[in-house]
Amino acid sequence: MAENTRSSDTAVPNPNNKSNAKAVCIFCSSKNGGIQAAALIPGCYITNKANLCHTHLANCVHFKEAYTNKEVEEILSQPVPEDKRKLNETNIEDDTPPPKYRKYSTSTISNTASQSTLTKWCGRPMSSKDTPTFETLMVKMCVSNGLSFSFVENEETLAVFNFIAPGLKLPSRKKLGGKLLLKISENLQENIIKIAQSDENGLTATFDGWTNTSSERSRTEDVIRHIEMLMDDAQNKKKVNIKAFVSNSAGEYAAAR
């Protein structure tokens, strides 16, 4: 990830170009079901170059919704590494002797303005617009790490967050496991359908196999009919082209990927 876009993008592997990862906009991902989903949606990711990340931010509606106009202007005014390298190369090629500056004592106020970086905004007070995004990230963190929602009420957890951002209020266990989880699940399903609909080659659905095939063999025909109904429903109502269903080897299939 480029140096001064660390707070706005997350690098993920690019299967089409292993030498250059994708930079997924965290502001777009918060509105499109997370990093993995956004990495598949054109317009939510760019090549992992600082100047391209900067250009994306300048045109990102979700980024501008997260900050005030003044903050947006200040963030976008920060130089990117590519610009710094070009400036250094220009200075090296220029044979003009460097200008001499008058030295000031430590008690003298310097008139040279210092450039801040994007990372300075990590510790800013969280606005009401940031709260839904923060709560969504908390739910995803608990789910992806297999943590119970009571994790947010643990004293050690509270100590860590209080150290990082004093005064930050974590959502309650009931809120995380209630309406927040339901909303995120609905958004995830919608994004899965969108991604599936955009796959022109069709999909393969994988499921866990039967634990006792001998006792359930008589139900095979019923299962086949049910699968056919699911495939027809996906094709006709959801516009999702499912080519095949795989069962009994879902675990091995997932491991092979």
Q: What is the pLDDT of residues 139-173, one digit of tens each?
A: 889 988 999 999 999 999 999 988 888 778 888 99
pLDDT band at 61 (very low <50, low <70, confident <90, very high): confident
Residue 110: its pLDDT value, please? Answer: 45
The pLDDT tens digits for 87-134 are 555 555 555 565 555 554 444 444 444 555 655 555 566 777 888 888
Residue 4: its pLDDT value, please? Answer: 42
Rounded to 5°, angle at Cα 5 from 68 and 32: 70
Rounded to 5°, angle at Cα 196 from 31 and 148: 55
pLDDT at 198 over 50: yes
